[in-house]
Amino acid sequence: MPPPPMIGVIGGSGVYQIEGLEGASWVKVSTPWGKPSDEILVGRLNGTPMAFLPRHGRGHVHTPTSVPYRANIDALKRLGCTDVVAVSAVGSLRPDYQPGDFVLVDQYIDRTFAREKSFFGPGCVGHVSLAHPTCPRLGAACLTAAKAAGIKTHASATYLAMEGPQFSTLAESRLYRSWGADVIGMTGMPEAKLAREAELCYASLAMITDFDCWHTDHGAVDVAQVIQTLTANANAARNLISELPALLPDHPTCPHGCDHALTYALMTAPDKRDPDLLAKLDAVAGRVLK
């Protein structure tokens, strides 16, 4: 029997709390990959178990580079999450995706270079498919929730993940546009890669806060502009999340295979596997290592 649905929400910049969780408490979760960004708020939303983790920690302590992505995903998996909705602030790289709009991210270009990107490594080599890096079923639920909450949401976007923390140069912004990227942010990767390795359904809902620096009618992005747009639209994000529980199926076997991503992924022969790494993979890959 597949586990019952539990939604993990990763809150991005400006989203450090969620309201309305019944019986909510902040819990400390230890992982073999270090400490998550913060304690995790666990409770129920309209009867469905939910776990909320602020990606940068309460008070925005972590940079996009220092976010402990592996610990965060491991902790959500360890708590029993089946589905993870990531909320992020992004800049728009196209004129028709405008500040205040939401987008459902379904593709990535990963330009980050200073982060741990895999749970696997020497002694347990694994290769998962990332052709479709997000879960279409969870994405569809997010779009339905956004519609119910009255939020303008674009159904598809390619997210350029940059290292940061500085924003892009004009030449970079133009280059990313020429590559076909639609939005830009600093945290979408390796989060999506790790969620896939952990066999979690993952969807990324991004709020557009600015036009980065390429748009001739708009000044270059700064933090004040990002915060202003985030604050103006924070309620929309909350309303959207509260619509989600009713939209998840009772028996969450993923028709797209997110929950079986590791079935053919492991390459290392059983007798060559590193016991220390296998122990660390207990939550993430326990299903295939039992």
Ligand X SMILES: CSC[C@H]1O[C@H](OP(=O)(O)O)[C@H](O)[C@@H]1O
Ligand Y SMILES: Nc1ncnc2[nH]cnc12
What is the spatial distance between Cα 150 and Cα 147, in angstroms, rounded to a whole number? 5
Q: How far is CA 150 from the centre of its chain?
A: 22
Does 226 sit near ligand X (CB under 6 A)? yes
Q: Kindly state the DSSP code that residue 108 receives in the 8-state scheme.
A: E
For the bound state, the minimum distance from the C-beta of residue 116 to ligand Y, rounded and expressed in Å, comes to 20
Write the interaction track for ligand X spanning residues 83-122; mark x where CB under 6 A is met and - where it is not. Answer: -----xx---------------------------------
Give, in order, the Cα–Cα distances in Å from 22 to each of 9, 16, 43: 15, 17, 5
Tell which residue, 93, 61, 65, has the closest CA to residue 165.
65
Q: Closer to ligand Y at the Cβ: 210 or 259?
A: 210
Write the interaction track for ligand Y spanning residues 179-198; mark x where CB under 6 A is met and - where it is not. Answer: -----xxx------------
Does 185 sit near ligand X (CB under 6 A)? yes
Give, in order, the Cα–Cα distances in Å from 219 to each of 25, 206, 213: 42, 21, 6
Pairing of the two strands 102-105 and 153-154: parallel
For the bound state, the minimum distance from the C-beta of residue 104 to ligand X, rounded and expressed in Å, comes to 15
Write the interaction track for ligand Y spanning residues 126-165; mark x where CB under 6 A is met and - where it is not. Answer: ------------------------------------x---
Torsion over CA: 176, 182, 184, 187 (sign)? negative
Q: Closer to ligand X at the Cβ: 64 or 139?
A: 64
According to CB under 6 A, which one of 18, 85, 181, 226 is a site residue for ligand Y? 226
Residue 122: burial class (beta carbons within 10 Å; 0-12, 13-18, 19+): exposed
Q: Identify the active-site residue in 110, 210, 250, 259.
A: 210
Contact 100, 232 (CB under 8 A): yes
Query: Letter for the amino acid at 159?
Result: Y
Q: Closer to ligand X at the Cβ: 1 or 224?
A: 224
For the bound state, the minimum distance from the C-beta of residue 21 to ligand X, rounded and expressed in Å, comes to 20
* Cis upstream peptide for 165 (omega within 30°): yes
Q: Catalytic: 210? A: yes
Q: Identify the active-site residue in 74, 212, 222, 259.
A: 212
Residues within window 50-79 making contact with ligand X, judged by CB under 6 A? 55-56, 64
For the bound state, the minimum distance from the C-beta of residue 209 to ligand X, rounded and expressed in Å, comes to 7
What is the spatial distance between Cα 195 and Cα 127, in angstroms, rounded to a whole number? 13
Contact 213, 89 (CB under 8 A): no
Q: Catalytic: 276? A: no
**Residues belonging to the active site:** 210, 212
Residue ranges of the binding site for phosphate:
13, 55-56, 88-89, 187
Residues within the interface to ligand Y (CB under 6 A): 89-91, 162, 167, 184-186, 209-210, 212, 221, 226
Positions in the binding site for ligand X (CB under 6 A) = 12-13, 55-56, 64, 88-89, 164, 185-187, 223, 226
Binding-site residues for substrate sit at 186, 210-212
